[in-house]
Amino acid sequence: MRRAIFPGTFDPFTIGHSSVINRALTFIDEIVIGIGINENKNTYFPTEKREDMIRNLYRNEPRIIVQSYDCLTIDFAKQMNANLIIRGIRTVKDFEYEETIADINRKLTGIETILLFTEPELTCVSSTTVRELLKYGKDISMFIPEGMEI
């Protein structure tokens, strides 16, 4: 069985994230959406709320597991018996960062990273931007998956 983790802060989970998940499910048997806990980040939603929103979104998809973690991503992958890491790439800057992390992860553990490029129409969607819109009371419904309750 091919189990992958899809790590991130997901504050909030966007249509870009769901696009990566949906595409990865075409070649991965099971995906663990790993919500990383990073004390240095000022998040909009508490971890529990993010877990609940994503679990509810995928409640009818048995191949999705949602779990938060507070350790290195490669250690979380080992805990979850995942042999792959899935990452979405929007920009060249994202690619350069992810390539470095993927190389280190592979050297330390042998865990491979699969990079999925964002669909062109979604390159402008980021959690940071959506979070900023939320702060100012703007409607974010076009940037979050249909059926996800904020």
**118 is a domain residue:** yes
Q: Is the pLDDT of residue 39 over 90?
A: no
Enclosing domain of residue 27: 3-136
What DSSP designation does 41 have?
S
d(CA 8, CA 33): 8
Mean pLDDT of the chain: 96
Cα-Cα-Cα-Cα dihedral sign, residues 50, 53, 58, 59: positive
State the pLDDT at residue 41. 81
Q: Binding site residues for substrate, as ranges?
A: 9, 41, 73, 87
DSSP notation for 99-133: HHHHHHHHHHH--EEEEEEPPGGGTT--HHHHHHH
**42 is a domain residue:** yes
Q: Binding site residues for ATP, as ranges?
A: 9-10, 17, 88-90, 98, 122-128
State the pLDDT at residue 99. 97
**95 is a domain residue:** yes
What are the tens digits of pLDDT across the range 67-126?
999 999 999 999 999 999 999 999 999 999 999 999 999 999 999 999 999 999 999 999
Q: Is the pLDDT of residue 40 over 90?
A: no
Q: Binding site residues, as ranges?
A: 9-10, 17, 41, 73, 87-90, 98, 122-128
**150 is a domain residue:** no
CATH number, domain of 19, equals 3.40.50.620
State the pLDDT at residue 150. 86
Contact residues for 26 (Cβ-Cβ < 8 A; gap 6+): none
**142 is a domain residue:** no
Task: Give the count of domains, the chain.
Answer: 1
What are the tens digits of pLDDT across the range 133-144?
999 999 999 999
**149 is a domain residue:** no
